[in-house]
Structure 1
Amino acid sequence: MSQWHFNGLLDLLKDDLERETTPFREPISNKDRLAVCLRIGKSTVSQIIPQVCDALWRRLQPLYLAPPTEEDWLEVAAGFQDRWDFPNCVGALDGKHVAIQAPPNSGSTFFNYKGGFSIVLMALVDHRYCFTVVEIGSHGSSSDGGIFRSSDLGKALQRGDLHLPGPRPLPGTEQPVPHVIVGDEAFPLQNNLMRPYPGRQLDEPRRIFNYRLSRARRVVENSFGILASKWEIYQRRIKLQPHNIDKVIKATCVLHNYLIKTLSLVSHPAPEARAEARAGGVERLQPCGNHPSREAFNLREIYKDYFMSTGKVKWQHAACFGVAAV
């Protein structure tokens, strides 16, 4: 983090970090409190870290991670169309198991499929690698398929409470279709949530659809990669109480947005965006079963046909199959 960004954060947080001077000791300066937290120091700062993380979330969240409005969703949809060639897309969704040290007396509550202990971070990301919605706190022992269905995000999407824009025609067509979120096999196929076609022996239209969806969904993988590379706490098991882990994760997510938006990150992610695979403290969600509605199934078919006709891009066949179309 640059000195300019650090000083900007310090100015935002100064009222939250100020401590009273007593006759017995001088308080730790605001500058040192913020520096200690961002470096994730030793046990002597165990009280400072949650306090600063609370302040970071309280001050930055309304500015850099506020709930999206319909106008915000439309801006994201335009970005996914222009940058990732996936129209009517309002975000890419993924979740990660964040490795933690087993809390005392927690039994198997946080025990996950990899044989470790974790808390789940679920995030929706826009076309610029910024988080638009984050949800933290599901226990590692929860089934990955059930984590989304029981999450506030999953319930809001199912109820239609995310204030997504109404259906609009895909470019060059006349039939209105819903705006969608793209995810991988860990998420169910729903009216507003697209996932890949299952199986390996797929025909060309389905393979093209899967490629186009994967290309749009890659932004969330890159966002997690940037997050894990910038904040070393994700490189190993986090040794804090679960409620303080939630605070740390929320703080890193809002700092992620703060840095990207103030740095005006370019179209393509930096090399560290691919560091997720090397982050020892972050694991993928597992694929889940799926029983889609007829409407969701039909919507995926509409996208599949669109990508082979009006929405076709000249490079998709070569990118998917390694050879140019004849």
Structure 2
Amino acid sequence: MDSETFEELLGIVAPLIAKQNTCMRDAITPNMRLSSTLRYLATGEKFEDLKFLTVISPRSLGVIVIETCEAIISCLSNAIKVPQSEIEWKAIADGFEEIWNFPNCLGAIDGKHIAIKRPPNSGALYYNYKKFYSIVLMATVNANYEFIVADVGTNGRVSDGGVIKNTEFGKAIYNKTLPLPGPSQLPKSDKVLPYVFVADNAFQMQGHLIKPYPGTNLTNTQRIFNYRLSRARRIVENVFGILVSRFGVLQTTIQLAPEKAQIIVLACCYLHNFLRKKKSYSFSHLIDQEDENSGSIAQGAWRRESHLNVLESAHLRNSSNKAKEIRNNFAEYFINEGAVSWQQKYLR
């Protein structure tokens, strides 16, 4: 974050974090409150360590960070916004078609475990199968590496595939209550298919949510489909990678109660979308890069880190016959009218 962006953000949140001076002492300024919070989010340093740089007591820092994060979420509330109309959803689909050659795609979905300290008297409630305590960040992103949904707080013990059904957005997908556009004709084709979200095998495939073909003994058509879906779905993995690389607090075990950790993580998500539009927030070296000539993928720098705990599939999940039919139709499209010139090179 450059100084210009910091001043812009300070101007936005200052009214909510400014405190009155008292006869006993001067209040900590909004500038110091925001800069201390941003340093905590960027480094993940303990409050005990931050006190030497900020000259603020650890106890006060604990209050300031949470209050400032709440202010960031409130003031940047429009930075993450679920589309409210068919037109807004179609704009997202246009992005996936233009950038990632996947028509009728409304977003990429995935989740990440955020490590937290064991809450008192919680038993195994937050203890996940990866053998640490966590809450889950469930996200849906657009083609431009931006969150359109960020839900945080489901306890880590919930099975990875079941997390999405604990979120309001996930319930809306499976219950078909989102204002999604109706089926439309694919480019250069007479196929009419519904709009879908793309996910991996941790999720149950139904209607508006599709995932790769499982297994290794796949036909060429199925392998092509998995590659094309992977190109679109990798966006959400890369967003997590950017988030963890930029916000060091997510590389640590957050030493706060789950409710406060939830505020911390949400603030990071809102800041990511806010900063995404700023030139100083560069991350091209962090994300996966694809060579269309050779079909090879140069993995982003974030993949070399060991602290990105994305959701995994523990077992195969039943899919509806309708969802399988939709996936098959997309697969046929991707080897015919919707083929791209380099997809066979990728499979060699």
TM-score (norm 2): 0.88
2:118 — aligned with what? 102
Deviations 1:55-77 (A, max 9, x none): 00001022x11221322211111
2:303 — aligned with what? 277
Secondary structure, aligned partner of 1:47: helix
2:19 — aligned with what? 19
Secondary structure, aligned partner of 2:222: helix
Equivalent residues in 2 for 1:44-59, closer than 5 Å? 44=59, 45-59=61-75
**Distance in 2 between the 1:272 and 1:6 partners?**
22
Equivalent residues in 2 for 1:46-195, closer than 5 Å? 46-62=62-78, 64-69=79-84, 70-195=86-211
Deviations 1:41-68 (A, max 9, x none): 6134000011001100001022x11221
8 Å contact from structure 1 (residues 167, 178) kept in 2 = yes
2:51 — aligned with what? none
Matched, 1:198 2:224: no
1:324 — aligned with what? none
Deviation of 1:103 after TM superposition, in Å, equals 1.4
CA 1:230–1:26 in 2, change beyond 3 Å: closer, same or farther?
A: same
8 Å contact from structure 2 (residues 241, 308) kept in 1 = no
**Distance in 2 between the 1:237 and 1:275 partners?**
21
CA 1:228–1:59 in 2, change beyond 3 Å: closer, same or farther?
A: same
**Distance in 2 between the 1:265 and 1:228 partners?**
14
**Distance in 2 between the 1:176 and 1:153 partners?**
25
Matched, 1:301 2:328: yes
Deviations 1:122-178 (A, max 9, x none): 000000000000111010111112112232121110122221211111111233211
Which one-letter code corresponds to 1:312 in the other structure? A
1:317 — aligned with what? 344
Deviation of 1:261 after TM superposition, in Å, equals 2.2
Equivalent residues in 2 for 1:220-231, closer than 5 Å? 220-231=236-247
Deviation of 1:292 after TM superposition, in Å, equals 1.4
**Distance in 2 between the 1:23 and 1:150 partners?**
49
**Distance in 2 between the 1:71 and 1:244 partners?**
36
Taking every aligned residue pair, what percent have the same amino acid on both sides? 39
* Unmatched 5+ stretches in structure 2: 48-57, 288-299
8 Å contact from structure 1 (residues 166, 179) kept in 2 = yes
Deviation of 1:293 after TM superposition, in Å, equals 1.4
Structure 1 stretch 177-186 or stretch 286-295: which is displaced more?
286-295
**Distance in 1 between the 2:169 and 2:307 partners?**
24
Deviation of 1:319 after TM superposition, in Å, equals 1.2
Secondary structure, aligned partner of 1:97: strand
Matched, 1:210 2:226: yes
**Distance in 2 between the 1:277 and 1:104 partners?**
33
Deviation of 1:282 after TM superposition, in Å, equals 3.3
8 Å contact from structure 1 (residues 167, 177) kept in 2 = yes
8 Å contact from structure 2 (residues 154, 166) kept in 1 = no
**Distance in 1 between the 2:326 and 2:280 partners?**
34
**Distance in 1 between the 2:5 and 2:204 partners?**
39
Please, what is the CA RMSD of the aligned residues? Answer: 1.6
Which one-letter code corresponds to 2:322 in the other structure? E
Q: How many residues align?
A: 318
CA 1:123–1:153 in 2, change beyond 3 Å: closer, same or farther?
A: same
* Unmatched 5+ stretches in structure 1: 322-326
Deviation of 1:275 after TM superposition, in Å, equals 4.5
TM-score (norm 1): 0.94
**Distance in 1 between the 2:302 and 2:34 partners?**
26
Secondary structure, aligned partner of 2:229: helix
Matched, 1:34 2:34: yes
Deviation of 1:189 after TM superposition, in Å, equals 1.1
Which one-letter code corresponds to 2:201 in the other structure? E
8 Å contact from structure 1 (residues 182, 194) kept in 2 = yes
Structure 1 stretch 155-164 or stretch 119-128: which is displaced more?
155-164
Deviations 1:26-54 (A, max 9, x none): 00000000001111161340000110011
